[in-house]
Amino acid sequence: SLAVLQKKTLNSYENVDFGSFDELYAAYISDLDDTVGQIFGLIADRFDGDVWKPLTPCTVVSLFERGCIENARSYLEGGPVYNMISPHIGGFPDTVNSLYAIKKLVFDEKLVGFREFMSILKNDWKDAKALRLRALNRLTYYGNDSDEVDFIAVRLLGDFASMCEKRDKKCAYRFPGGVSTFGRQLEWAQRRLATPYGRRAGEILAPNMSPTPGTDREGATAIIRSYCKPDLKRIPTGAALDLKLLPTSVEGEDGLGALKGLMRGFVELGGFFMQPDVADAAILREAQEHPGNYQTLSVRVSGWNARFVTLAREWQDMVIGEVES
């Protein structure tokens, strides 16, 4: 979603002055809907009318997927009982923050014109230090239980769900939406442009549906409350929340009680996909320097566990950065 905003919507309209934030948002939603439609078009192209086109057999998966042997059809030719491809909206928190920053700086506070702001971003915030610091430090972003910015999160996720729902069941594939990056926030970093909320080009941004590192300032409960405000029932393939906790916060009986309370509150508010990780940045840095002493140290990385010392240095730095933020 961030790539669509940065490289399609903002790039296409850099010479246009929008009359309101709603006009800009409508242009972005139109671009996002076109992108979702292109994904669906690739799926629909697998059919000749209602008949599956023959494809190269996906043999190994087909052997283990129920229905393929019974139907004598490959995994990619309608063999499984359920055929599903789920478009996931990656970079969701970064998109919410970007839209909110434009709303505040351009339309509400009128500190900069839209076209001038686009030029600033194209130049990676060069010669705009004061505005960048305001975007970084004076605005409250997703993950802090702020209704003003979380309203954009609710609106965007609802609109994305509608894009998927209107295409669902239009062919033999189901088309439910989800939210994820699952580690690709590092892979995508070098292709990311400067963001309206003060980050420079190439920075590692938000994992999954978790706050952008460094923007959450009100603690774990505020993160959970922001995450749970959208209607997550409309995102059936998941919206993962990675939650970093300090070891001191879960120490002893009181700490375990607090952790259980956090999980209960998460479920009661409508959450269903949380990945808590207890980590200490100092220990992780020590493990970087002396890996032989930390062979069994595990960390949670976007949905999977990994032994920290086996990760590439850039992955280790990403995990440490998320813990320190």
CA dihedral of residues 216, 177, 320, 227 (deg, nearest 10) = 20
**63-120 confidence digits (pLDDT tens):** 999 999 999 999 989 999 989 999 999 999 999 999 999 999 999 999 999 999 999 9
Instruction: Please report the pLDDT score of residue 32 as a whole number.
Output: 97
d(CA 79, CA 221): 44
The pTM for the full model equals 0.89
Q: What angle do CA 202, 208, 211 make, to 5 degrees?
A: 75
- Tokens representing 2 are 């961030």
Among candidate residues 136, 116, 137, 120, the one with its CA nearest the CA of residue 128: 120
Grade residue 50 by pLDDT with cuts at 50, 70 and 90: confident
Mean pLDDT of 122-141: 97
- Residue 218 has φ and ψ, to the nearest 5°, of -110, 10
Q: What is the DSSP letter of 3?
A: H
pLDDT over 90 percentage in the chain: 65
Q: What is the pLDDT of residue 13?
A: 65
Residue 300 has pLDDT above 80, yes or no: no
Taking only the tens place, the pLDDT of each residue in 165-215 is: 999 989 889 999 999 987 777 778 888 899 999 999 998 889 899 999 899
Is residue 306 over pLDDT 90? no
Strand 241-245 and strand 274-278: pairing? parallel
Residues 6+ apart with CB under 8 A from 34: none
> Is the confidence at residue 14, as pLDDT, over 70?
no
> In the structure, what pLDDT confidence band is assigned to residue 28 with cuts at 50, 70 and 90?
very high
Say if residue 325's pLDDT is above 90: no
Side-chain half-sphere CA neighbours of 124 within 13 A: 6
The mean pLDDT value for 28-37 works out to 97
DSSP 233: G
The answer to whether residue 39 scores a pLDDT higher than 90 is yes
Contact 323, 312 (CB under 8 A): no
Residue 141 host element (H or E): none
- The predicted structure's pLDDT at residue 210: 94
3-state secondary structure of 245: strand
With bands split at pLDDT 50, 70 and 90, how would you rate the model's confidence at 234? very high
Q: Identify the burial level of 8 via C-beta atoms within 10 angstroms of its C-beta, where 0-12 means exposed, 13-18 middle and 19 or more buried.
A: middle
Whether 5 has a pLDDT exceeding 90, the answer reads: yes
Tokens representing 275 are 């990945």
DSSP state of 88: B
What is the model's pLDDT at position 16?
Answer: 77
Residues 6 or more apart from 55 whose CB is under 8 A from it?
46, 74, 76, 77
Q: How far apart are CA 20 and CA 25, in angstroms?
A: 9
User: Average model confidence (pLDDT) for the chain?
Assistant: 91
Which pLDDT value is given to residue 179?
95
Q: Which residue, among 152, 155, 23, has the nearest Cα to 99 in the 3D structure?
A: 152
Residue-level pLDDT at 23:
95
